[in-house]
Protein backbone atom coordinates (compact mmCIF):
# COMPACT_ATOMS: atom_id res chain seq x y z
CA UNK A 1 0.00 0.00 0.00
CA UNK A 2 1.08 3.58 -0.61
CA UNK A 3 -0.07 6.78 1.02
CA UNK A 4 -1.30 9.20 -1.61
CA UNK A 5 -1.33 12.94 -1.02
CA UNK A 6 -3.47 14.82 -3.49
CA UNK A 7 -3.12 18.53 -4.14
CA UNK A 8 -5.23 20.38 -1.61
CA UNK A 9 -4.34 18.21 1.38
CA UNK A 10 -6.64 15.26 0.74
CA UNK A 11 -5.06 12.00 1.85
CA UNK A 12 -6.08 8.58 0.63
CA UNK A 13 -4.57 5.11 0.68
CA UNK A 14 -4.33 3.26 -2.60
CA UNK A 15 -2.83 -0.03 -3.69
CA UNK A 16 0.24 0.32 -5.88
CA UNK A 17 -0.29 -0.57 -9.49
CA UNK A 18 1.97 -0.77 -12.49
CA UNK A 19 1.20 -0.68 -16.17
CA UNK A 20 3.55 -2.76 -18.30
CA UNK A 21 5.22 -0.97 -21.18
CA UNK A 22 6.48 -2.92 -24.18
CA UNK A 23 10.26 -3.20 -24.10
CA UNK A 24 10.55 -2.05 -27.71
CA UNK A 25 8.49 1.13 -27.23
CA UNK A 26 10.67 4.22 -27.17
CA UNK A 27 9.13 6.65 -24.66
CA UNK A 28 9.08 10.30 -25.63
CA UNK A 29 10.74 12.59 -23.11
CA UNK A 30 8.59 14.40 -20.60
CA UNK A 31 7.64 17.95 -21.61
CA UNK A 32 9.29 21.04 -20.15
CA UNK A 33 6.33 21.59 -17.80
CA UNK A 34 7.40 18.63 -15.65
CA UNK A 35 10.98 19.89 -15.37
CA UNK A 36 9.67 23.36 -14.50
CA UNK A 37 7.49 21.78 -11.80
CA UNK A 38 10.56 20.16 -10.21
CA UNK A 39 12.42 23.51 -10.35
CA UNK A 40 9.62 25.65 -8.87
CA UNK A 41 11.31 26.18 -5.50
CA UNK A 42 14.54 27.41 -7.10
CA UNK A 43 12.49 29.81 -9.23
CA UNK A 44 10.57 31.09 -6.21
CA UNK A 45 13.60 31.67 -3.99
CA UNK A 46 15.36 33.57 -6.80
CA UNK A 47 12.48 36.03 -7.30
CA UNK A 48 12.72 39.70 -6.36
CA UNK A 49 10.23 40.32 -3.54
CA UNK A 50 10.51 44.12 -3.44
CA UNK A 51 7.23 44.58 -5.33
CA UNK A 52 4.46 42.12 -4.41
CA UNK A 53 2.40 42.82 -7.54
CA UNK A 54 5.35 42.13 -9.85
CA UNK A 55 6.29 39.10 -7.75
CA UNK A 56 2.80 37.60 -8.07
CA UNK A 57 2.68 38.28 -11.81
CA UNK A 58 6.03 36.49 -12.23
CA UNK A 59 4.76 33.46 -10.32
CA UNK A 60 1.56 33.33 -12.35
CA UNK A 61 3.49 33.45 -15.63
CA UNK A 62 5.72 30.63 -14.41
CA UNK A 63 2.78 28.37 -13.61
CA UNK A 64 1.17 29.08 -16.98
CA UNK A 65 4.11 27.07 -18.37
CA UNK A 66 3.46 24.24 -15.86
CA UNK A 67 -0.29 23.75 -15.42
CA UNK A 68 -3.55 24.18 -17.27
CA UNK A 69 -7.20 23.85 -16.36
CA UNK A 70 -8.26 23.33 -12.74
CA UNK A 71 -4.70 23.14 -11.33
CA UNK A 72 -3.70 26.40 -13.00
CA UNK A 73 -6.81 28.08 -11.62
CA UNK A 74 -6.09 26.76 -8.12
CA UNK A 75 -2.49 27.92 -8.26
CA UNK A 76 -3.41 31.41 -9.48
CA UNK A 77 -6.07 31.72 -6.75
CA UNK A 78 -3.55 30.63 -4.09
CA UNK A 79 -0.99 33.16 -5.36
CA UNK A 80 -3.60 35.92 -5.13
CA UNK A 81 -4.70 34.91 -1.60
CA UNK A 82 -1.16 34.60 -0.26
CA UNK A 83 0.97 37.44 1.02
CA UNK A 84 4.69 38.08 1.24
CA UNK A 85 4.07 39.33 4.78
CA UNK A 86 2.85 35.89 5.85
CA UNK A 87 4.62 32.53 5.78
CA UNK A 88 2.35 31.19 3.03
CA UNK A 89 4.95 31.12 0.28
CA UNK A 90 7.92 29.97 2.33
CA UNK A 91 5.86 27.17 3.89
CA UNK A 92 4.70 26.00 0.47
CA UNK A 93 8.12 26.06 -1.19
CA UNK A 94 10.14 24.65 1.72
CA UNK A 95 9.19 21.07 0.90
CA UNK A 96 10.29 21.14 -2.77
CA UNK A 97 13.40 23.12 -1.77
CA UNK A 98 14.40 20.28 0.58
CA UNK A 99 13.73 17.62 -2.06
CA UNK A 100 16.12 16.21 -4.63
CA UNK A 101 14.24 15.18 -7.77
CA UNK A 102 15.33 12.55 -10.26
CA UNK A 103 15.10 13.09 -14.00
CA UNK A 104 11.42 13.00 -15.08
CA UNK A 105 10.50 9.90 -17.04
CA UNK A 106 7.61 9.04 -19.27
CA UNK A 107 5.06 6.56 -17.94
CA UNK A 108 2.15 4.94 -19.77
CA UNK A 109 0.08 7.12 -22.07
CA UNK A 110 -0.04 10.81 -21.25
CA UNK A 111 1.75 10.48 -17.91
CA UNK A 112 5.14 11.38 -16.50
CA UNK A 113 6.70 10.39 -13.19
CA UNK A 114 9.31 12.06 -10.97
CA UNK A 115 10.92 10.41 -7.94
CA UNK A 116 11.98 12.62 -5.05
CA UNK A 117 13.96 12.27 -1.83
CA UNK A 118 13.24 14.87 0.85
CA UNK A 119 15.37 15.39 3.93
CA UNK A 120 13.86 17.62 6.60
CA UNK A 121 14.45 18.16 10.30
CA UNK A 122 11.85 19.06 12.91
CA UNK A 123 11.70 20.24 16.50
CA UNK A 124 10.37 17.53 18.79
CA UNK A 125 8.14 19.91 20.78
CA UNK A 126 6.38 21.61 17.86
CA UNK A 127 6.56 21.86 14.11
CA UNK A 128 3.75 23.33 11.99
CA UNK A 129 4.86 21.30 8.97
CA UNK A 130 3.90 18.12 10.83
CA UNK A 131 0.66 19.10 12.59
CA UNK A 132 0.26 15.70 14.23
CA UNK A 133 2.99 13.43 15.51
CA UNK A 134 0.60 10.69 16.66
CA UNK A 135 0.30 9.16 13.18
CA UNK A 136 3.69 10.12 11.77
CA UNK A 137 4.83 6.52 11.18
CA UNK A 138 1.75 5.45 9.22
CA UNK A 139 1.28 8.80 7.43
CA UNK A 140 4.85 8.77 6.12
CA UNK A 141 5.38 5.01 5.67
CA UNK A 142 8.28 5.01 8.15
CA UNK A 143 10.20 1.71 8.01
CA UNK A 144 12.82 1.97 10.75
CA UNK A 145 10.82 3.18 13.80
CA UNK A 146 7.42 2.13 15.14
CA UNK A 147 4.88 4.69 16.32
CA UNK A 148 5.32 3.35 19.87
CA UNK A 149 9.09 3.91 19.69
CA UNK A 150 8.59 7.40 18.31
CA UNK A 151 5.99 8.27 20.97
CA UNK A 152 8.32 7.01 23.73
CA UNK A 153 11.17 9.10 22.33
CA UNK A 154 8.95 12.21 22.27
CA UNK A 155 7.85 11.65 25.87
CA UNK A 156 11.26 10.87 27.34
CA UNK A 157 13.50 13.76 26.42
CA UNK A 158 14.04 17.47 26.56
CA UNK A 159 11.88 19.65 24.32
CA UNK A 160 14.80 21.11 22.34
CA UNK A 161 15.61 17.81 20.63
CA UNK A 162 15.16 17.35 16.90
CA UNK A 163 14.48 14.47 14.58
CA UNK A 164 15.11 14.25 10.87
CA UNK A 165 13.15 12.43 8.21
CA UNK A 166 14.19 11.11 4.82
CA UNK A 167 11.11 10.58 2.68
CA UNK A 168 11.15 8.85 -0.70
CA UNK A 169 8.18 9.78 -2.84
CA UNK A 170 6.85 9.43 -6.36
CA UNK A 171 4.99 12.23 -8.08
CA UNK A 172 2.91 11.33 -11.11
CA UNK A 173 1.48 13.78 -13.62
CA UNK A 174 -1.26 13.54 -16.21
CA UNK A 175 -0.52 15.78 -19.18
CA UNK A 176 -2.59 17.49 -21.84
CA UNK A 177 -1.01 19.55 -24.61
CA UNK A 178 2.32 19.34 -22.77
CA UNK A 179 0.97 20.86 -19.52
CA UNK A 180 0.07 19.22 -16.20
CA UNK A 181 -3.65 18.68 -15.59
CA UNK A 182 -3.40 16.21 -12.67
CA UNK A 183 -0.75 15.75 -9.99
CA UNK A 184 -0.53 12.95 -7.42
CA UNK A 185 2.05 12.47 -4.65
CA UNK A 186 2.71 9.03 -3.19
CA UNK A 187 5.04 8.39 -0.29
CA UNK A 188 6.98 5.20 -0.97
CA UNK A 189 8.87 4.90 2.31
CA UNK A 190 10.60 7.02 4.96
CA UNK A 191 13.23 6.83 7.69
CA UNK A 192 13.30 8.78 10.96
CA UNK A 193 16.59 9.68 12.62
CA UNK A 194 16.00 10.47 16.29
CA UNK A 195 18.14 12.97 18.24
CA UNK A 196 19.45 14.54 15.06
CA UNK A 197 22.05 17.30 15.56
Q: What is the DSSP string of 101-127?
A: EPPPEE-STTEEEEEEEEEEEEESS--
List C-alpha distances in Å: 57 to 52, 90, 101: 9, 17, 26
Q: Which residues pair with 175 in a beta bridge?
A: 180
> d(Cα 63, Cα 57) in Å, to the nearest integer?
10
Q: What is the pLDDT of residue 17?
A: 39
Is 72 in contact with 78 (CB distance < 8 Å)? no
Q: What is the pLDDT of residue 67?
A: 98
Quick one: which of 76, 40, 80 has its CA closest to 60?
A: 76
Q: What is the pLDDT of residue 3?
A: 43
Low-confidence stretches of the chain (pLDDT < 50) are 1-25
Q: What is the pLDDT of residue 118?
A: 95
Q: What is the pLDDT of residue 122?
A: 83
Q: What is the pLDDT of residue 24?
A: 38
Q: What is the pLDDT of residue 46?
A: 95
φ, ψ of residue 150 to 5 degrees: the values are -65, -45
Quick one: which of 186, 193, 187, 195 has its CA closest to 144?
A: 193
Q: What is the pLDDT of residue 87?
A: 87
What global pTM score does this model have? 0.78
Indicate the SS3 state at residue 166.
strand
Amino acid sequence: MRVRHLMGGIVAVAAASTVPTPAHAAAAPCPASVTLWSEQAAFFFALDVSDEEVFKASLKRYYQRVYQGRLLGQMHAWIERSSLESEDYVSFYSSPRDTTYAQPRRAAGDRCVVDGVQRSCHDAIFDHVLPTMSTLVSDHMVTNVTQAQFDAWLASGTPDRRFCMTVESRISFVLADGLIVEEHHEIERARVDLDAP
